[in-house]
Structure 1
Amino acid sequence: MSRPPTTSPPVPEAALADTGVRATWAKGAGRGDRLDTRFREIAARTPGRTAVTDARGSVTYGGLAEEADAVTRLLRGRVSPGQPVALRAGRSRSALAGLLGILGAGASYLPVDPGYPQDRQRHLLDDSGTALVLTEGPPSPGETPLAQAGPLTLTARRSVPGAPALPPDTAYTIYTSGSTGLPKGCVVGHGQVLALLDAALPLFDTGADDVWTLFHSWSFDFSVWEIWGALLGGGRAVVVDRDTAADPEAFAHLLSDEAVTVLNQVPSAFGNLVAETSATGTRLPALRRVVLGGEAMVPDDVRRWWATDTAPDAQVTNMYGITETTVHVTYCPLTPETLADARPGRTPIGRPLPHLDVELRDADGKLVAVGEPGELWVGGAGVSHGYLGRPELTAERFPPEPDGSGRRYRSGDWAVADADGLLYYAGRMDGQVKVRGFRVELGEIEAELRALPGVDGAACLLDDSGRTPALAAYLVADRAAVPPARVRNALAGRLPAHMLPQRLHYLDRLPVTPHGKLDREALSARAAAGTDQGRTAPRTTKGGGHHAG
C-alpha cells in the first residue's frame, strides 16, 4: 500500500527566508537572468547528458543546444528584443528547440496549438501582431516560407499595423479565455519564470537524476513549469504526444518504461490515471513526485491513489496557480491530515511559495478575518507584466501596491485561511471555470452560442453533478431548427476542444432572479435533474475523452 506522509514535510528555512530574497529571485539568483542563458550554461557543463526523449528518440543537452542554435540563426536580424514569434508545433523535441531558439535570438515565444480552430489561431496571431511564425508542418494561408531548421519552417505573415510592443525581457505570451468573447494574452518575463523555479524547485528537491513528463500543450501555462523545471534542473524531459496523453493505458506504460520520477497532472487527468493503475495493478516504483494543478483537486482520487501501491514513495502535492502570476502560487504537500477537512468547494491549496505573498480581501478590497472567505490578491516576484494591448484591463486587475513597490493581481478566486494559515480554495467569483486545466471564461462560449442562427439566448456553466465535471450549455432555441449536431459543428470551427460544451439543454427562456439577473442556481438544478438535455459528442481521442491541456 502507498504510504502517505503523516505530516506535511517542512519547507526549508532557506526557502522561506524573507529578507532580501525576492529581489534576488527577480534577478534570476545571479546565475543568468534569462531562461535560455541558464539552459546554455547547463548544456556547456553537461553536453552529453540526455535532455529530451520523444517519439523520435533522445537528444543530449549539447544536441538540443545545436538544434536551438539553428533556429536562432534563422531569426537573427529579423527580431527585436521581446518581439513575439509564434510557435505552431505539436509536442516534440523540435518544438523545444524552437522555443529555445526564439529566446536565444532575444525574442519571445507565442505558443499556438495547431489543434486549435483556424479562426482562433488567426486571432492569436493578429492580436499579438506577430509577423513571424515558426511552424512544424505546412504554412497556413497567407504565410510565406522564409527558411528552415530541421522540421521547423520560419514563415512570414502580413504584419498588423499598430501592434502592441512587448517589454524586452518578455519570455512568452500565453492566451487565456476572455469574458468578452475573445481570448487575451498574458505577458510573462524571464525573471518571473526564474523567480518561480528558484523558489519552488528546492521544495521538491529535484535535480539531474529526475525524469519529468512534458504532458501539456505549450499553450497551457502548466507546460512552462514542466519544460523549465526539467531542463533548468539538468534532468530529462519525456515528451508525451497527444495520443498517449489521451490514453491512460498508454500513458501508464510510458511512465513505467521511462522510469518517470516527476509527474505533473491536472486533477481530471490524474483521476483517469488513478482509475487505470487501480484496475490494472500497474506499478510505478520510480515515481517520487506528483504535482497537481490547473483545476480543483479531487480528494477522493488522491485517497484512491494512496490505497494502492502504485507508487509507494511518491509525494502528492497540490499547487494552486494563475497564468497572470506565472504558473504556481501555493504549495500543499497532501497528507491524510490536510485532506481531513477537504470537500467540494473547499480543497487545500497550502501556503504561498516563498517568492510570492497572498492576501484575502473582501469586495471592498479590505483584508478579511481568519476563517472568512476572501478574494486572493497575489503579490511578489511572479506577478506578470499584464495583458497584451489591454492597458485598461491590466490596470483593473493589477492594482499597484500602496508603497509603490510593485503590483498585485486580483485573481477573482475565493479562498479561506484557517487559524494555522493554511489556504483552502473556495471557487470563482465570476463566470470563469477550469476545464482540464484550461481557464475558461463562460462568457466566451456564451458569445459564440448567441451568434448561432436561431438561438435567442444562451448560457453556459460547469456541471459538476456527475463524477467528471463537464461544460453544459443552455439554449433558448427550437431543438428541431437548431439540432445538437449543428451546434457542435459550428462551435468546433470557433472554439478549441476543451471549450466545447459536452451537454446541451433546450429552454423556452433562461431563468432569472427577482433582480432580473441570470439564475445560474436554477440552471445548476436543471443540470442535476438531467432535464431538457441533448448530449453532444465532444471532440475527443481514445481514453475517456480527456484532451490533455
Structure 2
Amino acid sequence: MTHPDVPTMVCAAAERYPTAVAIEDGDRRVSYEELVEAARRMASEFVTPGQVIALHLPRGADFITAALAAMLAGAPFLPIDPHLPAERVEQMITLADAGIVVRGEDGTTAARPRQAVAPPAGPVPAYIIFTSGSLGEPKGVEVSHAGLSNLVRWHNAAYGVASGTRALHTAGISFDAAIWEIWPYVCAGATVVVAPDEVRTTPDLLAEFAAERDIEIAFVTTPVAEELLRMPEVKPGWRLLLTGGDRLRMSRRPEGWRIVNHYGPTEATVVTTAVDVTACADPSRPPIGRPIAGAEVLLIGRDGEAVATGESGEIVIGGEGVALGYRGRPDLTEATFVALPGRPGRWYRTGDMARALPDGNLDFLGRVNAEQLKVRGVRVEAAEIEDAMLRHPHVRAALAVITGPASSESRLTLLVVGDGTAISAREARAFLSGHLAPWCLPDRFMWVPRLPLTANGKVDRAAARELASGGQESR
C-alpha cells in the first residue's frame, strides 16, 4: 500500500484547516494557509530536484517553511543548527554536497560557489541529518520519504494527534528529534509551539512555559526528563511527555500525565521502540519497549543468529524506517545496512545491545563496545555509580567521569545536581558506601547547578570531564 508523503499530508491539512495556527514562534502565528503558500513560493526558487538544500536557520517558522519548500521541490533538506561552529557548518555542507544554502532569519538563499554533483539516480531522501561524529568523522544519514511518512502515521495514531493538538518544539534542528517534533503535527492540522532557547533545556522554566502555552504533548531528552521527575513541585500541565536518547532512570511516577520512553537511532528514522513507563510494574529502570508500527527488531548474537528471550544480543532494525544509507559513503552503508539470511529487506546494525524480557519489551544494555570507566586499574560502570547517587532524596542528577591519565593517577569525580539542600562530600560518600563496593566510590564530589548538555540536549561527557579537571571538590 502506498501512503502519501509528508508534503502531501501538510498540503492536505492546509486545505482542511486553512486558518488554523500551524506554528507559534514567539509572538508570531503562522496559519496553515500561510505556511503552504510561503513554502510553495520558496520551492519555485529551488530549480534542481534532488539537489541537497542546506537550511542554516534557527528553530522556528522560517526553518519549517524552508524544509517544507525543499520537499515540495523534490529535494532533501539538510538541517544545520546556527549555533554550530563555522568549521562544522562548512564540513556538513561539503560532506552533503549541498547545492543551495538557505541562511539567516530572513530566509535568504545562496547558491553554493561550486556546483553540486548530479542528483542521485536512486530514491531521493526526504532529509539528510548528521550523526554527532563523536566516534570519528560525522556521517550524513539519508532518510527516505517512506520512513518519515511511517513515523508521522505511527505517532499521530499512537498519541491521538489531531487538529487543535498543541505540541512543544524544543530540540535543536541538527538533532533528529526535531523531525519528530515538527512533521507529525503539521501533517495533522495541529500547532507546533516553539520553545525559546533560554527555556528549552531548563526543566522548571520549560514546564512553566508549557503550562502557560497550554501544551498537550512535549518531547524532552532523557536528562531533562529525569530532572523533571525529581521535581514534584513542578506542574507542567501537559498530558503526555515523550522522552528518549539515553537509558531512563525514573525516581517517581508522574501524577496527572503519562511519560513514554523511546529508543531509535537516526538511521531508523528517529523512533523504533516505545513503552508507556507510567504503566510499568517497576518504573525505576524502564525498558525501551516494543517496535512501533512499521518497524521490526531482532536481537542477534555474535554468530548472526537470533538470541533467545532473556539473552543479550545486538539490536538490528528492519522495516519502513530504515534509512537509505550514508551520504557519499557506500563503504559504511554496505557495512552497516545489511541483508539477513532468510529475512526480506534491509536491516540496520545498531551496535546497541538489549535483551528481550518475558513480556516482550526490550531491556537496553548499552553499546556493543561500551566504554567503561577504569579507576586504579579496576573497571567500573558509570551508570551504577550514578544510579546509587540518584537514590539520595536531595539529588536530582549525577554524572561520573574520569580525570587524569589512564593510570593509577586517574581520579573518579561525581558531578552532582542537588535540590538546594546542603550535602557535604563526607555525607555523600557515606551514603554511597551503603550502595557501592569500595572501589566504586568517587574520589571527589562536585556540586553543579546543571549537568553540561550538548546542543541536542544530551549529556556532554567531554565538557563534564573538562569541568571536573578544572574544579575542586565541593563542600
State whether residues 79 and 174 of structure 2, in contact with CA within 8 Å, keep that contact through their aligned partners in structure 1. yes
**Pairwise mapping of residues 360-379 of structure 1 onto structure 2 (< 5 A)?**
360-379=299-318
Are 1:290 and 2:245 an aligned pair?
no
The CA distance in 2 between the partners of 1:166 and 1:529, in whole Å, is: 56
Offset at residue 159 of structure 1 (A): 2.7
Cα distance change, pair 470–206 in 1 and its aligned pair in 2 (3 A): same
Are 1:156 and 2:111 an aligned pair?
yes
Are 1:105 and 2:73 an aligned pair?
yes
Q: Report the counterpart of residue 200 of structure 2 in structure 1.
A: 245
Q: Report the counterpart of residue 196 of structure 1 in structure 2.
A: 151
Q: Report the counterpart of residue 40 of structure 1 in structure 2.
A: 11
SS of the counterpart of 1:368? coil
Once the two structures are superposed, what CA deviation does each residue of 1:134-164 show, in whole Å capped at 9, x if it has no partner?
1125xxxxxxxxxxxxx11101223377688
Q: Which moved more, 1:191-200 or 1:92-101?
A: 191-200
Per chain length, whose mean CA-contact separation is higher, i.e. which structure has more relative contact order (CA < 8 Å, sep 6+)?
Answer: 1
**Pairwise mapping of residues 256-267 of structure 1 onto structure 2 (< 5 A)?**
256-267=211-222
Q: RMSD of the alignment, in Å? A: 3.2
Cα distance change, pair 418–249 in 1 and its aligned pair in 2 (3 A): closer
Cα distance change, pair 529–398 in 1 and its aligned pair in 2 (3 A): same
Q: Report the counterpart of residue 88 of structure 1 in structure 2.
A: 56
Offset at residue 257 of structure 1 (A): 1.3
Cα distance change, pair 154–161 in 1 and its aligned pair in 2 (3 A): closer
Q: Report the counterpart of residue 128 of structure 2 in structure 1.
A: 173
Equivalent in 289, 292, 297 of residue 353 of structure 1: 292
Cα distance change, pair 168–361 in 1 and its aligned pair in 2 (3 A): closer
Once the two structures are superposed, what CA deviation does each residue of 1:379-432 show, in whole Å capped at 9, x if it has no partner?
111111011111111111111143573111111111111222221111111258
State whether residues 339 and 347 of structure 2, in contact with CA within 8 Å, keep that contact through their aligned partners in structure 1. yes
**Pairwise mapping of residues 392-541 of structure 1 onto structure 2 (< 5 A)?**
392-403=331-342, 405-431=344-370, 465-466=385-386, 467=390, 468=397, 470=399, 472=401, 474=403, 476=405, 529-530=442-443
The CA distance in 2 between the partners of 1:421 and 1:249, in whole Å, is: 35
Offset at residue 527 of structure 1 (A): 8.6
Are 1:229 and 2:197 an aligned pair?
no
Offset at residue 530 of structure 1 (A): 3.4
The CA distance in 1 between the partners of 2:273 and 2:89, in whole Å, is: 32
Letter in 2 for 1:85: I
The CA distance in 2 between the partners of 1:380 and 1:97, in whole Å, is: 29
Offset at residue 132 of structure 1 (A): 1.3
* Number of aligned positions between the proteins: 414
Equivalent in 201, 218, 222 of residue 173 of structure 2: 218
**Pairwise mapping of residues 120-159 of structure 1 onto structure 2 (< 5 A)?**
120-137=88-105, 151-159=106-114
The CA distance in 2 between the partners of 1:155 and 1:125, in whole Å, is: 12
- Identity level (%): 29
Once the two structures are superposed, what CA deviation does each residue of 1:196-254 show, in whole Å capped at 9, x if it has no partner?
22233212222112111111011111111111111112111101121121333332221
Cα distance change, pair 427–198 in 1 and its aligned pair in 2 (3 A): same
Question: Unaligned stretches of 5+ in structure 1?
Answer: 1-23, 138-150, 307-311, 434-441, 443-460, 478-501, 504-524
| Alignment TM-score, normalising by the size of structure 1 | 0.69
The CA distance in 1 between the partners of 2:338 and 2:267, in whole Å, is: 13
Offset at residue 188 of structure 1 (A): 0.3
Cα distance change, pair 432–204 in 1 and its aligned pair in 2 (3 A): farther
Q: Report the counterpart of residue 324 of structure 2 in structure 1.
A: 385
